[in-house]
Amino acid sequence: MKDQHETRFDMLKKPKKQAWYLTILAWLLAFPTVWGHHLKVRKHHMKGLKPPYVLLCTHHAFIDFSVTTAAIFPHKANYIVAIDGFIGREKLLRDVGCLCKRKFTNDISLIRQIEHSLKVNKTIIAIYPEARYSLAGTNAILPDSLGKLCKLMKHPIVVLNMHGNYLSQPVWNLKKRKVRISADMTQIVTKEDIFELSVPQINKRINDAFVYDEYKYQFENKLKISYEDRAKGLHKVLYLCPSCLTEHQMDSKGSKLWCNHCHKTYEMDELGRLHAESGDTEFAHIPDWYEFEREHVKKQILDGTYFFEDEVAVDSLPNSKGYIRLGNATLRHDLQGFHLHGSFGSESFELRKDPLSMYSLHIEYDYLGTTDCLDLSTLDDTYYLYPLHQKNVVTKLHFAVEELYKQKMIERFALKE
């Protein structure tokens, strides 16, 4: 175990240019997948644009990578992939042009890696800046540093906004569904623009291009999902009952979602809309319920009542060889951020992450067939944390991280003024 810990993932190794035969293999794997979903790619302001350029992609499900491959055809790319994607296949991913990133860390070495892809490999650099699959079918918060990074690279910026991917395999229920998918591929910043636009202007263009709502897309395009367990797992995202305001008592099965405290029940129809079986339907549109939860957490933060603490099982992921179970520790999250502390064997352990160090949080539902988890990263390790006593809490934790970051940024700017 010690040797495995001492071998850290080499984050400085330059990304390779994808070999021609691996490009062909990628096409052979991607195209049958997207053809099965009748993919249609609409290209806007792309005429005459050739690599290298920065490609920013929305992130919904595993099929995203096949859609991206099809959208950039016949060109190849270097892809930024999270550390867990390299487990057991580091050589293969490096050979196909992937470079590694630990989520929600400020890693300046990534700048040099991206620069190498654009200026030396002269290829597309594909980035999924949301850094996790969409939880409720809507776009996630993007870092303010994204515009600065893109301006620094001095290359065109293209956004690939995908539609239907989330519906085909939502992160809270990984059963694949047959859904028609599409994508809009848009050059939002030209080579000339990149020198003229300010960082805030670039960020605005990126954020505007990243807006999506999968349930709106489903309803407007009448995409019926008849899968009988279509609501199973939805309580992972919709954990707060809008009727009695009880947290973490929601449950789901089949096409139904209900509260175990007040017993109010909702039916999810084939177009993704919710209907209360009795009384008012507070939120027919799932993203509205999701944002209602965010506001509830924000209120707790503002009035100083937000607090979380639980015992967690801790796995370490220092490299691509796999997870190492360290033991159990105590995780606390409050207005000062995260504090993880405990003892593993004879060694004490402590990790702190203040609110301004993370603009969001990576979470997983039923990760690898076990339970929900969150992860906290340093520059040379990632810790996967599994709450042992409190259930269905990770969605609220992710809201709290995002809202704490926003509030601390507001306070910082207020002090400057």
Is the pLDDT at 413 greater than 90? The verdict is: no
Over range 213-242, report the average pLDDT.
97
Is residue 179 helix, strand or coil?
A: coil
Taking phi over 0 as left and psi of -120 to 50 as alpha, with beta for the rest, 104 belongs to: left
Q: What percent of the chain has pLDDT over 90?
A: 86
Alpha carbon distance 70, 68 (integer Å): 5
Q: What is the pLDDT of residues 209-224, one digit of tens each?
A: 999 999 999 999 999 9
Question: Please, how many CA atoms are within 13 Å of residue 371, restricted to the half-sphere of its CB?
Answer: 15
pLDDT category, 162, cuts 50, 70, 90?
A: very high
Q: In this predicted structure, what is the pLDDT of residue 10?
A: 78
**Sheet containing 256-259: order of strands:** 250-253, 256-259, 265-268, 274-276
- Out of 97-111, 218-232, 261-275, least confident range: 97-111
Whether 2 shows a pLDDT value over 80: the answer reads no
Domains of the chain: 9-220 (3.40.1130.10), 234-302 (no CATH), 308-416 (2.30.29.30)
Higher pLDDT, residue 348 or 8: 348
**pTM, entire model:** 0.94
User: Is the distance from CB of 335 to CB of 408 less than 8 angstroms?
Assistant: no
